[in-house]
Amino acid sequence: MKPIKIVALTLALFAGSTPLHAATDALLTEESVIGTVNGREIRLSDIEDQKINELRIQLHNALQEAFIQHAVTQLGANSADYKPAAPAQITDEQVTTFYQQNNLQSRGSLEQLGPMIREYMEGMAKARSDIQIYQRAAIKGDITTRLIKPKEMLLNLPVASAFVRGNQKADVMVMEFSDYQCPFCKRAQGTIKDLIEQYGDRVAFGYRHFPLAFHKEADDAAFAVECARDQGGFEAMHEILFDQSDLSRGNLKEIAKQINLKDLEQFNSCLDKDQYADRIANDMAAGQSVGISGTPGFIIGYYNPDNGSLEGELISGAQPANVFIAAIEKYLQGR
C-alpha cells in the first residue's frame, strides 16, 4: 500500500468519529490547532515527527499533482488559450541517451528497459507542459490554490567519528552510511566519486559504517578500514573493499599489504582485537536514530564544522546522480 493511500485510509477511519476538519484542511500548517487536552490547545508541531512530516509532504505533493492535472484539463476544455500541446514523440536516440546517462546497464538491457524509459519520458514531457500551462494561468489569475507545502523536518546527526573527505569546513555535507558487502553500496560509489569531483571544496563527504546483520563479513571489513585509518590508509582500503568478494580476515590482511601500510603488525593486532567495534556500533546507532534501516543511506544537509553537527534530509538507496544534485544544490543555496 502506498503512503498516500495509508493517509487517506487513516483520515477516512477518523472521519466517522471525532471531526478532524482542521487536520484535513489544505491550509494545515505546523501551527494549526488539531485539538485540545484539558483545555490546552495542541498544535500539529507538538506531535509531528519525521514520519508524519514525510506523509504530509507526500499528501501535499499528490494533491498538488492532481490539482494541476485537473486545472489544466478544465482550462483546456473551456479556453483555446490553454489548449494542451501535442503528446511528445520520444525518439529511440533519446531513450538510448537516457539509458546511458543514468547508468541503467546494471538494472537491465536497453531492450528490457526501453519501453519503461519511453513511458517515463513521455510522462515527464506531459508534466512539464501541464506546469507551463498552470503557471501561465496562475499569472493571469485564472487559477488559485490554497495548498501550502509543509516545511521539511530536518534530521540532526553528529558527524562524530565519520571519515570526512573534501573541505572539512564546507557548509554542506553528504554523509553516507554503507556496508562493504552491499551491492547497492558498491553501485553508489561511482556517483559519490562524480559528486566529489563536481563539487570540490563546496561540499564535504562523510562516511560512517552500517554493516547489515546478514552480511557476515561486513563487520570485519568495517573494522579493517578503521584500523587502516590509523595509518592514513582509510581511502586506499575503502576503494578496494567494495570490489572484493572475499572479506575474510586473512584477505583483509593481504589487502593491508597491497596498500603498503607501514606497520602491518599494528594493523593485524587492531583487526584481531576488534579494536573499533564500539565505533562501528556507534555508527549503527546514529544511523538508526535518523531512520536508516538499509544501505546505502545518506543524510544531506547543512554542516556545522564548529560543533560537528549535520542537519539535513534522508535519501535512501543508490539513487541517480540527479537526486543527490537536487538535494545538494538546495542546501548550497542556504537557509
Sheet strands (E) in the chain: 33-37, 40-43, 155-158, 163-166, 172-178, 203-209, 297-304, 309-316
Q: Are 228 and 261 in contact (CB under 8 A)?
A: yes
Average the pLDDT over each of 95-109, 213-227, 270-284 and give the range with the smallest value. Answer: 95-109
pLDDT at 186 over 70: yes
pLDDT for the residue numbered 279: 97
Average the pLDDT over each of 57-61, 157-161, 236-240, 331-335 and give the range with the smallest value. Answer: 331-335
pTM for the predicted model, two decimal places: 0.66
pLDDT for the residue numbered 107: 85
Give CA–CA dist 68/5, Å, rounded.
19
pLDDT for the residue numbered 335: 62
pLDDT for the residue numbered 8: 47
pLDDT band at 256 (very low <50, low <70, confident <90, very high): very high
Cβ-defined contacts of 78-85 (< 8 Å, 24+): 79/142, 82/133, 82/136, 82/137, 82/142, 84/129, 84/130, 84/133, 85/129
What is the dihedral angle through the alpha carbons of 61, 67, 68, 69, rounded to the nearest 10 degrees?
Answer: 110
Over range 24-37, report the average pLDDT.
78
pLDDT for the residue numbered 3: 44
Q: What is the pLDDT of residues 123-153, one digit of tens each?
A: 999 888 999 999 999 999 999 998 888 888 8
Average pLDDT over the chain reads: 88
Q: What is the pLDDT of residues 215-244, one digit of tens each?
A: 999 999 999 999 999 999 999 999 999 999
Q: Are 297 and 177 in contact (CB under 8 A)?
A: yes
Residues 6+ apart with CB under 8 A from 288: none
Give CA–CA dist 73/188, Å, rounded.
40
